[in-house]
């Protein structure tokens, strides 16, 4: 059984293991890659993952359908959280923010059908649409929750002020912002979540390629007989009890490496050394896929 520190109750009642899985990188085609992706998703659940993150943006629902192929009927205790609020233009084919109530409602209805569930236990707004009043966006999700189609409401890539405004309208169960050992721009948002008991799901929980290049992280990894990725995830898990990392991968060996981080324990001295690391410069971030 997981220790109490390895689990978290989202909204105080939805029990998940804190180290989850981000499905964004799972390929849905061609057939051979899809088969491997299905195997990775199944292996994640075999290893005890109970929180899997996906979104409509990931292939226009194809990622959700992949998870259904791999995991439906879902085992007891598994939560698949998805995101809405980004839509593809019928004219240009480009993705853009769209938080209009009719769009959000239609996307939730389609997600219910794709995921083959009667209720999405945790539904997150992928981004706040600046062209639509926040009250309309959050209010629509609140209505869908009242209708029993959503269990809990989350937000993604927000500021403390936006979180405060949203909480005036409805209870917020989770926040999904970019955050990792080398990128702590959203520390104030994490602090606000910790104070309110709101789950904080860091996307890009490991700075790809950078963790192994930082001497201090590599040194701690060598001391523990671990990898820099594992050290980075262990740091996150120990940083605040509301942090629920969702590292993603399309490889089973990387999945197993990531999940083994749950058993890694940093000493106070090691944690202090990591805490002092400067935040990574991010000049190319805007070119990266955004979970």
Q: How buried is residue 124: exposed, middle or buried, by Cβ count under 10 Å (0-12/13-18/19+)? A: buried
Q: Which residues contact 209 (CB under 8 A, 6 or more apart)?
A: none
Rounded-to-integer distance, Cα 82 and Cα 84, Å: 7
**Catalytic (active site) residue 58:** yes
The CA-based angle 128-233-266, given to 5 degrees, is 140
Rg from Cα positions in the chain: 18
The CA-based angle 242-245-249, given to 5 degrees, is 170
Rounded-to-integer distance, Cα 276 and Cα 264, Å: 20
Rounded-to-integer distance, Cα 140 and Cα 160, Å: 21
List the end-to-end C-alpha distance of the chain, in Å, as a whole number.
30
Q: Which of 54, 40, 58 is nearest to 117 (CA)?
A: 54
CB 228 within 8 A of CB 215: no
Burial 230-244 (b: 16+ CB within 10 A, else e): bbbbbbbbbbebbbb
Name the active-site residue from 56, 58, 74, 179: 58
Number of C-alpha atoms within 13 angstroms, CB side, residue 22? 22
Give catalytic residue positions: 58
């Amino acid at each position: 059984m997981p220790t109490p520190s390895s689990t978290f109750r989202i909204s105080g009642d939805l029990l998940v293991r804190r180290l989850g899985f981000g499905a964004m990188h799972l390929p849905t085609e061609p057939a051979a890659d899809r088969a491997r992706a299905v195997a990775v998703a199944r292996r994640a659940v075999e290893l005890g993952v109970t929180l899997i993150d996906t979104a409509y943006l990931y292939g226009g629902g194809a990622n959700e359908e992949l998870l259904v192929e791999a995991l439906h009927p879902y085992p007891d205790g598994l939560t698949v959280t998805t995101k809405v609020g980004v839509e593809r233009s019928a004219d240009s084919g480009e993705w853009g923010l769209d938080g209009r109530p009719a769009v959000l409602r239609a996307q939730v209805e389609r997600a219910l059908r794709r995921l083959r569930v009667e209720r999405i236990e945790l539904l997150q707004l992928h981004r706040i649409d600046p062209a639509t009043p926040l009250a309309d966006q959050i209010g629509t999700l609140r209505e869908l929750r009242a209708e029993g189609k959503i269990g809990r409401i989350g937000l993604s890539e927000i500021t403390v002020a936006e979180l405060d405004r949203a909480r005036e309208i409805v209870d917020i169960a989770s926040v999904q912002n970019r955050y990792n050992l080398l990128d702590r721009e959203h520390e104030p948002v994490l602090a606000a979540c910790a104070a309110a008991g709101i789950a904080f799901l860091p996307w890009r929980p490991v700075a790809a390629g950078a963790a192994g290049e930082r001497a201090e992280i590599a040194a701690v990894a060598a001391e523990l007989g671990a990898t820099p990725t594992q050290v980075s995830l262990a740091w996150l898990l120990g940083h605040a009890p509301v942090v629920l990392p969702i590292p993603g991968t399309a490889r089973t060996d990387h999945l197993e490496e990531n999940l083994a981080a749950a058993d890694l324990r940093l000493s106070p001295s090691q944690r202090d050394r990591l805490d002092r690391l400067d935040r990574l410069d991010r000049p190319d971030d805007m070119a990266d896929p955004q979970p």
